[in-house]
Chain A
Amino acid sequence: MSGHHDLGGVRTDAPVPRAQHAILPWEMRVDALMQLLSDPQRPGGALMSVDELRRGIESLSADEYRSLGYYERWLQSLIAIMTEKGVVERAELERRFAEVERAHEREHAGGGER
């Protein structure tokens, strides 16, 4: 009855990486986004709860769950919950992703070729 996220006590022969890594700026942003969306003090009240974040993470497919990093799972869950509630539309997000990607490519190409 447990999902693939419920890993405590599961035996594995795979190595368990114990090294820490620095938290990247985008990861901090995802964390901040979650804090803002779940803040009961925000005008209009919290848009989601930490329990919804967890449910969204646990709803990822086993493959997605395994292949995504910690904050990538958070981000996928935030998108799922916010689109489920109609706060944002997926198409709107996709458009914005594409814009940001193009801007990044322009910047990158400009800097690299000169």
Chain B
Amino acid sequence: MTARFQLGEPVRVVDTGASGHVRTPRYIRGKRGVVERICGEFRKPEELAYGRYDGERESLYRVRFAQREVWPDYSGPADDTLDIEIYERWLERSEEGR
């Protein structure tokens, strides 16, 4: 399995509607950012959370978001950013990063 997204690529966080144990916080769903780094492939938290330690691996990315994209009323400097590690399944290509 190879990483679907490249370094610097604009992405958007999709809401997969997944329930149970997930690591993608609600506030970041639907937001646009850029791939800051490709972290590698890791087992899925949804499976690990139920004791399945030998499941498939999935690409994990560190995605950088502008704070003003995440919080519309953000009053700090415009170049403030927020990094979150997100699994590939939660990401789709976006035309613009911010």
Interface residues of A (CB under 8 A from B): 1-2, 6, 8-9, 46, 48-52, 54-55, 58, 85
Contact = CB atoms under 8 A, between A and B. Distances in A.
Contact of B26 (A9, A46, A55, A58): A9
Contacts of B27: 8-9
Interface residues of B, number: 17
State the main secondary structure of chain A at its contact with B: loop
B33 to A, nearest CB: 15
24 contacts: A1-B17, A2-B25, A2-B26, A6-B26, A8-B25, A8-B26, A8-B28, A9-B25, A9-B26, A9-B27, A9-B71, A48-B51, A49-B53, A50-B48, A51-B21, A51-B45, A52-B50, A52-B51, A54-B21, A54-B45, A55-B20, A55-B49, A55-B50, A85-B51
State the main secondary structure of chain B at its contact with A: loop
Nearest to B27: A9
Contact of B48 (A2, A6, A51, A85): A51
Contacts of A2: 25-26
Interface of B: 15, 17-21, 25-28, 45, 48-51, 53, 71
A54 B26 contact: no
| Residue in A1, A51, A52 with the greatest tally of chain B CB atoms within 10 Å | A51
Contacts of B51: 48-49, 52, 85
Contacts of B26: 2, 6, 8-9
Given A6-B25, A8-B25, A8-B27, A49 B48 contact: yes
